[in-house]
Amino acid sequence: MVSKEVVVNNGTGLHARPATLLVKKASSFKSDVSIEFNGKKANVKRIRVHDLRHSHVAHCIELGFSPVAIAERMGHEGINITFNYAHLYPSKQKALADRLNEDRGDVDVIMEKKEAE
């Protein structure tokens, strides 16, 4: 048995276009090809186009793009489809609330921010 390990050094993971090429190439082999990240292992041959779209939306959310911009980019019929990814937004809620509080002059938030610096 031949085993080969390849490390992808990219903090945001494997992007859609390279992932598609990887799936295509892996499918040409009879052997098992898997990918592992954060202790989770997946069969590369089972990655679907929809999985790549989902990953792309998640990446756009993490980069801070608005749901409207993401919906337009993905060709969603309406913003409600993009909001199906709402479970990916909770990490943004505190930052949003802090920014709103700061904008209205909430002294506690401004003081916390200065203490953190």
* Angle between helical axes of 67-74 and 49-62 (0-180°, round to 10): 150
Catalytic residue among 15, 54, 56, 59: 15
What tokens does 109 get? 């938030």
Cβ count within 10 A of residue 101: 16
CA atoms within 13 A on the CB side of 104: 7
15 tagged catalytic: yes
Residues in the chain: 117
83: closest CA among 107, 100, 66, 108?
66
Residues with catalytic annotation? 15
